[in-house]
Amino acid sequence: MLQSGPVFKAVKNTLAIKSSGVSFILNFKNEKLLEEKYQLFFPDRLLLEELGFITANDLSFKIPKTENTKAQEVFLVGDKIVLFEKLENKPELPLSILVFTKIGQELLKLVKSTPELDYIQLLATKINRINGSIKYGQILAELPNGQIRYTNLIDVPLTDQEVDQERKQKAAEEKK
């Protein structure tokens, strides 16, 4: 069963994200990328729940609001690190997620893989780039003390949809 089906797809494609001690998948309900490319649909979610790999509730991962100071949130996605530098005076940001259970987290430890850029771009889109900068890099080592060594960080590129939206905004501004 681990060689095909939703469990294998979710783990193999490194859809698991870890932040603040929580392992989760972005909620794939009505998410075109996850449905079309990764072939994850609602029945797959039900099976993952039934097997005890993810919780049965839609949950929200909250990135706290910032007041007079910037904040940083670290996300581990397979062998990549994603750093979100949140600007000051920005509201709380909720991400709709499906959380891995303890059993699901143990399963994740068995697989080492590389996420595709489009999933990191989806995470960046969900975080909303206007709230700060989002960069990623390759994890080189996870040290016993919890520190992570990684390569130089680069900006997460915009999705095609975000590029189109930016073009439309610039065109509208030029017409004014």
Convert the pLDDT of each residue in 80-133 to its tens digit: 999 999 999 988 888 888 899 998 888 888 877 778 898 899 899 888 778 889
pLDDT band, very low/low/confident/very high, at 151 (cuts 50, 70, 90)? very high
- Half-sphere exposure of residue 165: CA atoms within 13 angstroms, side-chain side: 7
Is 25 strand, coil or helix? strand
**pLDDT for 150:** 96
| Length reported for the chain | 176
**pLDDT for 107:** 83
The two tokens of residue 33 are 């990328």
Cα 52 from Cα 99, distance rounded (Å): 11
User: Which of the two residues, 135 and 9, has the higher pLDDT score?
Assistant: 135
- Decide if pLDDT at 48 tops 50: yes
Q: Alpha helix locations (H) across the chain?
A: 5-12, 32-36, 42-50, 102-109, 117-127, 160-175
Cα 54 from Cα 102, distance rounded (Å): 9
Cα 119 from Cα 82, distance rounded (Å): 11
pTM of the model: 0.83
pLDDT band, very low/low/confident/very high, at 11 (cuts 50, 70, 90)? low
Helix (H) or strand (E) holding 78: none
Task: Classify the C-alpha dihedral 48-53-55-58 as positive or negative.
Answer: negative
Ordered by start, the domain boundaries in the chain are 5-175
Which amino acid is it at 145? Answer: N
The two tokens of residue 92 are 């709380």
Cα 122 from Cα 117, distance rounded (Å): 9
Cα 131 from Cα 90, distance rounded (Å): 6
